[in-house]
Amino acid sequence: MKKKRRHAGDALQHTYKITRDGGVLFYRREDHLVYYTLQSVLSRKHRLRILGTSHMYTHVHEGSLPEDLVQLSAYEHDLSSTFARDYNRETGRSGALFDGRFGSAPKKDEKKKRSCMIYIFNNPVEKKLVKKAREDRWTFLPYYEKEYPFSRRPVIRYCRKPLVDAIHLVEHEFRSGRYLKYNLLHHLFASLEGEEKEQLTDFIIQRYFFFDRKGCEDLFGSIDRMMAATELTTGQEFEVKEIFDAYSDLPYREMCSAVERYGMLGPGLPLLRLPEERQVRLARFLLAHTTAKEQQVAKFLHYSLFSLTE
């Protein structure tokens, strides 16, 4: 008999989602942006108030204020199934992407709500990716304060045509109520230079920004106080069924940089299409040239844990 999912009136729901094999989900900015813009479109479709989220390499955290669990479940089902379909088409894989239903834990007490949101935002800090939560793009926390936290605001009349065209295309998709798909993102970024890619990424995130600022202000008193709170404490979470991993996530960043130099993170994500023999050779290379542990290399390559050092 399945255990009924808990619900507590006006509770903040902390949801947690991990890949089926515990492996890496977000390798590239395109992976983040497809998922993020999908979160944006579907949260509006289901009228779900989301206070914040955090995209980690292998999993996603989200804090929301649903009217009821039917609303939350419908949103999560749409999000998981749509992203899995697009991700599978992009990578050539098949089958379920996420580990069953999402995990969730309700927080009704105001102090617990605040602690939970701080915990969500501070995931990259706990995993040694940044020193402060506001330094990580994929908590989206910097965008509560600024529209272009990682680049200069583009002045259209001074921009190159590829960036102008990309901004107009993103604006069109947003106004049409559509999320950004892989093929479009690959096309947009292919013609851009380094700074332009950062500008377009910032533009996409601020244009599709869907988080409930009012809900955050009500919970913390102001956005400034929320930002400050993430630096005063790490928050805590004991109720959601999150798989504990004591290792830093820095090795995942190192491995992404290593394989990107060989074109393995391009369109179609060639990294996940390697034959077994090449995959084993790559695994041993990553063990020798990064700080990754054997288990992390296995997660990175979605390979069953095996001895790579023999």
Amino acid present at 16: Y
pLDDT of residue 9: 59
As a whole number, the mean pLDDT across the chain is 90
Residue 76 has pLDDT above 60, yes or no: yes
Tokens of 23: 């492996």
What does the H/E/C string look like for the chain? CCCCCCCCCCCEEEEEEEECCCCCCCCCHHHHHHHHHHHHHHHHHCCCEEEEEEECCCEEEEEEECCCHHHHHHHHHHHHHHHHHHHHHHHCCCCCCECCCCEEEEECCHHHHHHHHHHHHCHHHHCCCCCCHHHCHHHCHHHHCCCCCCCCCCCHHHCCHHHHHHHHHHHHHHHCCCCCCHHHHHHHHHCCCHHHHHHHHHHHHHHCCCCCHHHHHHHHCCHHHHHHHHHHCCCCCCCCCCCCCCCCCHHHHHHHHHHHCCCCCCCCCHHHHCCHHHHHHHHHHHHHHCCCCHHHHHHHHCCCCCCCCC
CA distance 187 to 189: 6
Helix axes 69-91, 29-45, angle to 10 degrees: 150
pLDDT of residue 103: 72
What value does the mean pLDDT take over residues 103-119? 90
pLDDT-derived band at 307 (thresholds 50, 70, 90) equals very low
pLDDT of residue 44: 97
pLDDT-derived band at 305 (thresholds 50, 70, 90) equals low
Amino acid present at 220: F
Residue 309 has pLDDT above 90, yes or no: no
- Residue percentage of the chain with pLDDT more than 70: 90
**Could you tell me how many residues make up the chain?**
310
Domains within the chain, CATH numbers bracketed: 12-146+210-232 (3.30.70.1290), 156-207 (no CATH), 250-301 (no CATH)
User: Regarding beta strands 12-18 and 59-65, do their DSSP bridges make them parallel or antiparallel, or are they unpaired?
Assistant: antiparallel
pLDDT of residue 238: 44
pLDDT-derived band at 2 (thresholds 50, 70, 90) equals very low
Residue 240 has pLDDT above 50, yes or no: no
> Of 138 and 246, which is predicted with more confidence?
138
What value does the mean pLDDT take over residues 164-177? 98
- pLDDT tens sequence across 197-231: 999 999 999 999 999 999 999 999 999 999 999 99
pLDDT of residue 1: 38
What value does the mean pLDDT take over residues 22-36? 97
CA 300 centroid distance within chain:
16
**Which residue is listed with tokens 């069109």?**
172
pLDDT of residue 236: 55
Tokens of 181: 């798909």
pLDDT-derived band at 100 (thresholds 50, 70, 90) equals confident
pTM: 0.92
Residue 243 has pLDDT above 60, yes or no: no
Amino acid present at 1: M
